């Protein structure tokens, strides 16, 4: 992970006081402002793995969930002129719904080891295109 990407992660954690759903979205928004979606996905995965390892829980990382949220932030980001994450999330409060992925994935698929270890396509409803 690049120093600048690690600084973004650290800044968000320190500013927000933790690393929950809101902070994950903010980090995705930040990385999508810097990189194309493929690079943002890789950097985001690295950042979340880093946090999981720091907390002694490397097995908590879930590739499908991580990549899905980056994708959803990218879809919403293309339709906004928000200059800050707070403006962006105020325009897109539906992203705060942690159950949003359940519209696209069955609980069984998301709970699977395959989905945890590598990107898995939705089995209920496809995601909207991001580009």
For 61-109, what is each residue's pLDDT tens digit? Answer: 999 999 999 999 999 999 899 999 999 999 999 999 999 999 999 999 9
Q: Is the pLDDT of residue 131 over 70?
A: no
* Number of neighbouring beta carbons within 10 Å of residue 96: 11
pLDDT of 130 > 80? The answer is no
Dihedral angle, C-alpha 104, 121, 97, 103, nearest 10 °: 0
Residue 47 has pLDDT above 90, yes or no: yes
- The pLDDT, as a whole number, for residue 38 is 96
Percent of the chain residues past pLDDT 90, beyond the cut: 73
> How many percent of the chain have pLDDT more than 70?
98
């Amino acid at each position: 992970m690049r120093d600048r990407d690690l600084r973004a992660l650290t800044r968000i954690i320190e500013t927000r006081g933790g690393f929950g759903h809101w902070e994950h979205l903010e980090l995705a928004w930040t990385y999508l402002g810097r990189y194309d979606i493929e690079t943002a996905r890789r950097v985001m995965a690295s950042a979340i793995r880093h946090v999981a390892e720091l907390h002694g829980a490397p097995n908590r990382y879930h590739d499908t969930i991580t990549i899905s949220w980056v994708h959803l932030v990218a879809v919403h980001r293309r339709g906004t002129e928000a200059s800050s994450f707070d403006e962006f999330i105020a325009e897109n409060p539906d992203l705060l719904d942690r159950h949003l992925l359940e519209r696209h994935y069955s609980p069984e698929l998301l709970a699977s080891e395959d989905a945890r270890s590598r990107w898995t396509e939705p089995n209920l409803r496809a995601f909207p295109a991001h580009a």
